[in-house]
Chain A
Amino acid sequence: MQLFLPIAEVSVNAFLLLGIGGVVGFLSGMFGVGGGFLITPLLFFIGIPPAVAVATGANQVVASSVSGVLAQMRRRGVDFRMGLVLLLGGMMGSGLGIWVFALMTAAGQIDLFVQLAYVLFLGLVGLLMLQEAVRTMLRNRGGKAPIRRSHVHTWVHRLPLKIKFRISGLYISVLPPLVIGALVGFLSAVMGVGGGFIMVPAMIYLLGMPTKVVIGTSLFQIIFVTAFTTLMHAISSQSVDIMLAVLLILGGVIGAQFGAKVGLRLKAEQLRGLLAVLVLAVAIKIALDLLLTPDELYSVTKGIGL
């Protein structure tokens, strides 16, 4: 069934969109991530204009994060105070991202900028996760249980403006969460992602938050940052396509429930290893697009250029 998308101005198969939403939802449910980093490149791939793909991707992440955070709240896995601090940084980052996005669109470099951001961040995070997962798997095979220290003091703990985060059991400066929030907000605006793949490792390794509150808190703040991003894109560039979003969301929320079931049967390090491979595959695909000679060197865009 072909469907004409009112904002993207392209006609696509409705079942294809439901399918993309479903597959990405399945993976995001399994790994506990928003899935924006998969949805947005897939939308580019089926011919949705990049600006619409990024803005609509952000809208889709709102839905999957709401679905996820409700489950986390029921098991008390959300540190609201930490979430609010991250959120404050996120809003600033997102505002900056929207501005850069408009600037790059006018200069005709938005595609390159988005692609480079994907290669850089997905590549980096994918490699780190893979290395960590492989190390854990090897250690478990060796039979020695890892020694976990609950409080590791790093430079992060020497910064000023400390406050208490009761649910996370932390007493740290507000500056690192603000900066992490801002970085993730920025990425959300330019890449159409929630940024969970950066937020989660940053919370664990930089802030030292306990694993049980990490996913819930990350989802909590991602809802607001992606909602803000969606609104900003809707106002500044009218590039949110509701029809596209609803189909992706419908497929996504259903897929996520099944993914979550499968995820429960796998070991944590296996999940992280698989997710790392997936993230790296996307990064490599986009890197190849940049490195290999394209079939058509010319592109046509509406507007007046520089």
Chain B
Amino acid sequence: MRGAFLYLIFAVSLGFGLSQPTVAEEIVAQFNQTRVSITTNFEGSQIVVYGAIKRDSPAPTNKKNHVIITLEGPSSPIVVRRKDRVMGIWANNAELGFERAPSFYAIMSTAPLAKVIDEATDRLYHITIPRAIRASTRNRDAEQTTEFTDALIRVRTSEGNYVQSEYGLRLLQDTLFQGQIDLPANITEGAYRVRIFITRDGQVIDSQFREIDVRRVGLERWFFNLAHEQPLIYGILALFLAIFFGWGASTLFRYIRP
């Protein structure tokens, strides 16, 4: 939370300080939902972002504005492992830890990212997928870090958890934009951070950060809490159900069948 706040101060000061101070441009945005409930029949969801760039004076006509929207799931430390043929069988052999990697990351922009932001901006805001991931600082082998980072992005992309869509956004009349991000069914709960950036010349001129709360509800919530807070009771419940159904089936079929 404090990190986001610092970002905000930084972004605002950058927006006012580095871009032309005469043109104050501001993002106005609205989401279709700010709470996503994981229910028993959860099949994924969709976040729609509607927005506009509010201006005090007309936009400069010689430079093109771009918009980027990112949606980032909760991060956790992870391990990426590589299988190698060991004595004829494929077994996990090499591994690399990552200090943080978002469980979900979607990024959409109005043009290829290389055109929309420059390297320094990316380093500052961690916008592109490789920047959103942080490899363990224990590892000093740059080549290996690249190899495992690429693998991580490939695996999570094929699972639908990392999504990049250049041209996924359209900026109408340099003012209005709308984007939609599909959340897959296999989702981790937690606070999802949405970031909206307007850039010009590869630099951020305004940004906005919001949170979407993704939570298990109802039965899902109840089972999850019980499993983690009262594991013994949860285990006994699991056994009770197993014994009950086993006994029930045996008894039921005995009466059906003479």
Contacts of A67 in B (CB 8 A): 246-247, 249-250
Complexed CA–CA distance, A265 and B34 (Å): 60
Is the C-beta of B28 less than 8 angstroms from some C-beta in chain A?
no
Name the distance in Å between A61's Cβ and chain B's nearest Cβ: 8
Contact with B along A1-31 (1 / 0, CB 8 A): 1111011011100000000000000000000
Would you give 15 A-B contacts (Cβ < 8 Å), ordered by A? A6-B223, A11-B185, A62-B239, A70-B250, A70-B251, A230-B235, A231-B239, A235-B232, A238-B231, A246-B245, A256-B249, A296-B154, A298-B148, A298-B154, A299-B83
Contacts of B185 in A (CB 8 A): 2, 4, 10-11
Is the C-beta of A86 less than 8 angstroms from some C-beta in chain B?
no
Complexed CA–CA distance, A240 and B245 (Å): 17
Is the C-beta of B151 less than 8 angstroms from some C-beta in chain A?
yes
Complexed CA–CA distance, A304 and B80 (Å): 10
Name the distance in Å between B45's Cβ and chain A's nearest Cβ: 12
Contacts of B148 in A (CB 8 A): 298
Is the C-beta of A124 less than 8 angstroms from some C-beta in chain B?
no
Contact of B97 among A71, A230, A304 (CB under 8 A): A304
Tell whether A4 pairs with B220 under 8 Å between CB atoms, given A231-B232, A240-B227, A304-B77: yes
Nearest A residue to B251 via CB reads A70
Name the distance in Å between A236's Cβ and chain B's nearest Cβ: 8
Complexed CA–CA distance, A111 and B92 (Å): 9
Tell whether A302 pairs with B77 under 8 Å between CB atoms, given A70-B250, A291-B88: yes
Q: Are A304 and B79 in contact (CB under 8 A)?
A: yes
Complexed CA–CA distance, A1 and B216 (Å): 18
Q: Are B238 and A63 in contact (CB under 8 A)?
A: no
Q: Are B155 and A303 in contact (CB under 8 A)?
A: no
Interface size on A, residues (CB 8 A): 58
Tell whether A7 pairs with B223 under 8 Å between CB atoms, given A298-B154, A302-B77: yes
Contact of B81 among A63, A245, A253, A301 (CB under 8 A): A301
Q: Are A112 and B91 in contact (CB under 8 A)?
A: yes
Q: Are B238 and A64 in contact (CB under 8 A)?
A: no
Contact of B228 among A111, A238, A242 (CB under 8 A): A238
Is the C-beta of A117 less than 8 angstroms from some C-beta in chain B?
no
Is the C-beta of B243 less than 8 angstroms from some C-beta in chain A?
yes
Q: Are B245 and A253 in contact (CB under 8 A)?
A: yes
Contact of A227 among B83, B101, B239, B245 (CB under 8 A): B239
Inter-chain pairs besides A234-B231, A296-B155, 5 sampled, C-beta below 8 Å: A2-B43, A3-B41, A11-B44, A302-B79, A304-B97
Contacts of A9 in B (CB 8 A): 186-188
Q: Are B78 and A240 in contact (CB under 8 A)?
A: no
Contacts of B35 in A (CB 8 A): none
Complexed CA–CA distance, A291 and B158 (Å): 23
Complexed CA–CA distance, A10 and B238 (Å): 19
Q: Are A6 and B219 in contact (CB under 8 A)?
A: yes
Contact with B along A236-268 (1 / 0, CB 8 A): 001010110110011001101100000000000
Is the C-beta of A294 less than 8 angstroms from some C-beta in chain B?
yes
Is the C-beta of B82 less than 8 angstroms from some C-beta in chain A?
yes
Complexed CA–CA distance, A210 and B241 (Å): 33
Complexed CA–CA distance, A142 and B203 (Å): 88
Is the C-beta of A169 less than 8 angstroms from some C-beta in chain B?
no
Q: Are B246 and A10 in contact (CB under 8 A)?
A: no
Tell whether A240 pairs with B241 under 8 Å between CB atoms, given A6-B219, A6-B220, A299-B155: no
Q: Are A300 and B152 in contact (CB under 8 A)?
A: yes
Contacts of A188 in B (CB 8 A): none
Is the C-beta of B144 less than 8 angstroms from some C-beta in chain A?
no
Complexed CA–CA distance, A10 and B90 (Å): 26
Contact with B along A271-306 (1 / 0, CB 8 A): 000000000000000000011111011111111111
